Homo-oligomer: A and B are copies of this chain.
Amino acid sequence: MVARTNRPTLRQVAALSGVSVKTASRALNAEPYVSAATAAKVRAAAEQLGFRRNAIARDLRAGARSTLVGLIIGDLANPFYSRLARGAERRLRSSGLPLITASSEEDPQLEQRLIAEMLERRVSALLVVSSAAEHAYLDAERRLGLPVVFLDRAPQDIVADTIVIDNERGVRQGVDHLVRQGHRRIGLVGDLGRLSTHRERVAAFGAALTAAGAGDWQRYVRADSHDVPAAERAVRELLALTPAPTALITTNNRITTGALRVLRELAAPPALVGFDDFDLADLLGVSVIAHDPERMGELGAELIVTRLAGDDGPARRVLLPTRLVPRGSGERRPAHLDETV
């Protein structure tokens, strides 16, 4: 399966062009101090043999590590992650750093295996959307000189470079918006309860509702809706309560999708504000708390590049802004208010 290839090596190029390996190396890497004639001869030989530099040997020589940067995300096919990945890829490529991506499927064990694999491959840095609770092993790597940047979810057990959304403010924007339309019973459908983003969003939700005088908000919170069907179930559950919530906040794009599937069946659907903007949300009239995942990837990559350039200042924490985008679903008023109009 990993048979030795019959690829030409530098040695063969050198032999064919009648120079030493080192001269061939110099010629092909456009180093100075090679005569034009020699360089041409070597390049011709390389061309003829179909030679390609072996980056494995080069990397081993150069410091036993590669220029690859590793990115761990939950799921390549989720637009939040794929936008993030695109932002990171673009920024890294402009610095000549290829990106290697792996999906953890939000499984902490798989995540750790994937990271271990990348570390063995000697990636030069790591961008991680972590679904794990423990990061001590990564802290050890950081001390060995590996830049690690946490994206979207801040590690709870170590201090490290982190780029996160301003969840507190985002949720508050959403709740305040709904409260201003007269809503007091607001439901929240959230992702995996163990994720820091979930906990932050729920905490902000509670704080904002308490401030608005709605004391029993906890009744209307559901967690662990990690896929669309789970989100649909949670929404149905909430709407079956008595009294039912008059508005919903969904904490990510997939959950919002699930909610939409349920709400379209209803004659008088509750108001809806979703965290994460998504394609076609405008056509569907869905109000969202928007932010910029691509920017998150870009900034993470930017920070990696800075760290690789030698910056070893204290860990940085970047907070990305959110923006409430009203499109209709979040502007529906509670039924009892409409009646009085």
Contact = CB atoms under 8 A, between A and B. Distances in A.
B5 A294 contact: no
A59 B56 contact: yes
Contacts of A52: 116, 119-120
Interface string A101-129: 11100000000000011011110100000
Interface string A61-80: 01111111000000111010
A5 B144 contact: yes
Contacts of A232: none
A66 B77 contact: no
Contacts of A83: 77
Interface residues of A, number: 63
A322 interface: no
A133 interface: no
B50 A145 contact: no
Given A2-B63, A52-B116, A85 B79 contact: no
Contacts of A308: 1
A52 B167 CA distance: 36
A152 interface: no
A55 interface: yes
Nearest to A256: B280
Contact of A55 (B7, B121, B144): B121
Given A86-B76, A122-B54, A140-B50, A6 B145 contact: yes
A67 B3 CA distance: 11
Contacts of A309: 1
A155 to B, nearest CB: 18
Instruction: State how many copies of this chain the complex holds.
Output: 2
A287 interface: no
Nearest to A105: B90
Given A121-B55, A122-B56, A124-B2, A264 B283 contact: yes
B120 A67 contact: no
Nearest to A309: B1
Contacts of A141: 50
A230 B55 CA distance: 40
A57 interface: yes
Contacts of A260: 280, 283
Contacts of A279: 257, 278-280
Interface string A23-56: 0000000000000000000000000001011111
Given A54-B120, A257-B279, A284-B284, 14 more contacts: A1-B308, A2-B62, A2-B65, A50-B140, A50-B141, A52-B116, A55-B122, A56-B65, A77-B85, A77-B294, A79-B82, A99-B100, A100-B101, A280-B280
6 contacts: A2-B124, A6-B144, A75-B86, A79-B82, A89-B103, A260-B280
